[in-house]
Structure 1
């Protein structure tokens, strides 16, 4: 199935069979670290900073390390800006918990086996920017949210609810039963996103994995498939770009 929420990169990111979703992780970069420190639900295990970063941000209760020493603690290429913290992962919510909340969101995103942490982080960032209340991820085939995704999210993983579901198609069915108009993003969609959203009080966007897009069973579970109109010659967008467009189109009111 061809989908607009597509990524042509060949590199794949997976959690691996030994990944432990409860294992502590490093977060780095100013936005990700500040957002985590401001989140009362975060358990901070270690906080480190370069002397310049600590002075710049007025940090006092922090372990001071040379930037090169911080480099050695983090994955290669991590742009930490002199800040990093070791934390326990946030506890993922169940869909039942989210829907039963007195502040249950009316706009949700469902990601079907998304595996690139940069895309995942970018989608969280767009979700926070455009008011998407929760992101549903598959329990087994989507890796835990770690430092790479957190850096791309620029703090949004602290504010947008992470929901884990064993079966994505069943989660979509449950959303439909709760009054959500479930919209799968696909290049062969019969409607544009704008038309698909029109008049729906509650919306859930469903987006497929990089390269393969929506799985057939997941696409079938959606109430409708919608597309983003594009110029001839371009058949797809990166999944994070498609998500940002869909989220923006779904905002209750937008400035002209």
Structure 2
């Protein structure tokens, strides 16, 4: 019986493999479809460059623009249309050939001819929203064919810059014996000069959302000082750890 091929085993091979697969798909190659990801259609159609949105307005500018196409806004661009309901947690969607009724957590009820559900895959896989009648089996099967992976981008601010910068140095990798352990780093000097901020991306790390930020910061500082042993690395002054996986509104 032929033995199965071994995966990457050295720290360098593992972090390169992690950058190629986990960083893109938030899951390791063993659960990623080779047929559907190599080559990745997005890379084939648009190239494999990574882009960063540096617009100070953030993605909300896109949302406001789209909303302004059909919702009433004031001169400042703020949405003032009474039809826009925010901070409403949908709990039940009842639908039939005659229309749709949506009930929220505060017992409000909304009726419409049609409803577009844009909840995350994690919410659809949870019991947060009850569909009446239950969704057809083919749709439930499609929903559960994918995982709601954990993809966490941690921002760390320092009092000064100690890492290399310039052409081809936006990303740098940390080769650990533990696959994916704070491995993918990114600096923002080009987008935000003198911000002194590093971004580290981790995947499949539920534990990070459950532990104190102080512990995460300590782990990160150990890694950073290991990457730059010849530099005077100061303690980070701030850290931002998103917790999408434990947020019921996203159900990561």
TM-score category of the 2 structures, normalised to the smaller one: under 0.3
Higher RCO (CA < 8 A, seq sep 6+): 1
Larger radius of gyration: 2
Tell me the TM-score normalised to structure 1 length.
0.26
